[in-house]
Amino acid sequence: MNNQWFSKVAVWLVIALVLFTVFKQFDRTTTAGNQIAYSDFLDEVRAGRIKSVTLQEGNGGTEIVALTSDDRRVRSTATYLDRGLVGDLINNNVKFDVRPREEPSLLMSILVSWGPMLLLIGVWIYFMRQMQGGGKGGAFSFGKSKARMLDESNNTTTFADVAGCDEAKEEVKELVDFLKDPQKFQKLGGRIPRGVLLVGPPGTGKTLLAKAIAGEAKVPFFSISGSDFVEMFVGVGAARVRDMFEQAKKSAPCIIFVDEIDAVGRHRGAGLGGGNDEREQTLNQMLVEMDGFETNLGVIVMAATNRPDILDPALLRPGRFDRQVYVTLPDVRGREQILGVHMRKVPVGSDIKADILARGTPGFSGADLANLVNEAALFAARRNARVVEMVDFEKAKDKIMMGPERKSMVMPEEERKNTAYHEAGHALVARLMPKTDPVHKVTVIPRGRALGVTMQLPETDRYSMDKERMLSTISVLFGGRIAEEVFMNQMTTGASNDFERATSIARDMVMRYGMTDELGPMVYAENEGEVFLGRSVTKTTNMSEATMQKVDREVRRIIDEQYAMARQLIESNQDKMHAMAQALLEWETIDSEQIDDIMGGKPPRPPKDWTPSSSKPGGGSTPPVNPDGAPAAA
């Protein structure tokens, strides 16, 4: 900031000085008066029309500036000082003054002679800095590192601010011990990892964890993004890598953190047509700096990515990124801890239970939970509340999982009724099929891109799927279309995504997971590597025509069996379908307790906060929503 301010002031100062010099010269020229011949000047003196005269010796002779009787200023020049002129002035009572030669100052001479050139240089520097995007260091600093340094006095983030990733924190704690006391490890011959790669899905807190390490160790923290290395100029990326490590060595022990390293560390020679030479040159320089002839004692390189599969193998070998720390999605205990961290920043009511919210948000990352707390605070602010209550968190959770409500959307009553039966079909099959997640909420209020949603929430965190659960999921997906056929005698386009997902699950069961007796435990999936990530340039098929026909038959068998099973459940429970659809048409949204009443043969209890709506929004039939916010089977 200071360099930018000084540069701007210097440019404008040069411009001001040059303009001042030009105007001063112009002022001297214009105020000197009208130029007349020397003989005419003598005639004016002898005629008594001159009141005063100033004589000054110059480089080209004697400069004469005279004031006439009518207050006009005239100017003349004599090649030498005419001694008779003095007598004429005395005889005609003309006041005169003789001044010595005026030597221009050195500064003025420099400004007059070099001013235009300095002006051009200043303007060139200014525009070059603008082309550089206002970067620090002037017009010749393209190779300077853009790493932002956060010293130990300004970094207040510690491990107390990081929750939900206890295993990852344990992995990196010894880095803190090394930075605090390097001799503890070096006297035993141990070598601290030179690089630590944080791997995990987006929003799990990789950047926050790296910042907390620097905060705990009280060492400087250099932060830079992978995309900051490469510019439009050739060789800038490699120069910035060198400059960054030079700065880090001066501040050692310290931490260099490269966020989104896949932007510069992608597999070399990847994709069609070869690689990007500039990016590869930057990567090569980083490889040399991390483990080359020079040793970077006390400089630990940390990087974060959610795409470790596309990184260059040379970057992941021991000696560079020695250790990979996996920062995964938090479990129910981790989500409770993360909610506790974020709830400290907002006033919460006495009815808030973080453990209940954690159980109801499976699949949420740390960023998702932070967004949940923020959305709940916004809901509380809209109703002018002083604290954030549980009802605000429920509304925020529904908005994040199912999308925002679109109550203003009006649709025909017949289409709305079709939506109610469609969603009721999803919910009923989900309740009756084995190994399905409990139905949390069903609504025919349009939310986001969905015109109707059936949301299922798992009771516990799940990390794998068994065959029976996958088959039940396919049946649940078919429940919506079957309900339309049985009760509305029609087919709509709302089930298109249901069919797509059901077919994908069935095909994966046959081709990837070996879940059929006919084809056995063998992978039949085609090579689907992305060519621009360097995985494969050609797409090969490892199946014969006969095998492909067997695959199609098995996929068709699975889909037909689950479709028939879902149809049998719906046709044998028509009374429950009618009751559930009627409840949806009346209340627009029903929860698990009301669904329990309907499945138990009892009239459903009305919603706790339900008030009759003056306008009935239209419903639709789209897939339900998974805990991660994507459309799910329900």
195 appears as a binding residue in the annotation: no
51 appears as a binding residue in the annotation: no
Residue 53 Cα distances to 26, 83, 183, 266, angstroms = 22, 14, 88, 83
d(CA 481, CA 491): 7
Three-state SS string over 97-140 comes to: EEECCCCCCHHHHHHHHHHHHHHHHHHHHHHHHHHCCCCCCCCC
422 appears as a binding residue in the annotation: yes
205 appears as a binding residue in the annotation: yes
Do 367 and 342 touch, CB atoms closer than 8 A?
no
Other residues' Cβ atoms within 10 Å of the Cβ of residue 136: 15
Q: Is 405 a catalytic residue?
A: no
Do 74 and 36 touch, CB atoms closer than 8 A?
yes
Write down the catalytic residue from 44, 423, 554, 588. 423
426 appears as a binding residue in the annotation: yes
Strand arrangement, sheet containing 589-591: 453-456, 439-443, 589-591
* 3-state secondary structure (DSSP) of residue 323: strand
Do 498 and 481 touch, CB atoms closer than 8 A?
yes
Q: Which helix (H) or strand (E) holds 61?
A: strand 61-68
200 appears as a binding residue in the annotation: yes
d(CA 403, CA 153): 42
68 appears as a binding residue in the annotation: no
330 appears as a binding residue in the annotation: no
206 appears as a binding residue in the annotation: yes
Go through the chain and tell me how many residues it has: 634
Do 451 and 618 touch, CB atoms closer than 8 A?
yes
d(CA 303, CA 261): 6
Do 136 and 92 touch, CB atoms closer than 8 A?
no
Q: Which residues are annotated as a binding site for ATP?
A: 200-207
Residue positions in the annotated binding site? 200-207, 422, 426, 498
The residues annotated as belonging to the active site are: 423
Binding residues for Zn(2+): 422, 426, 498
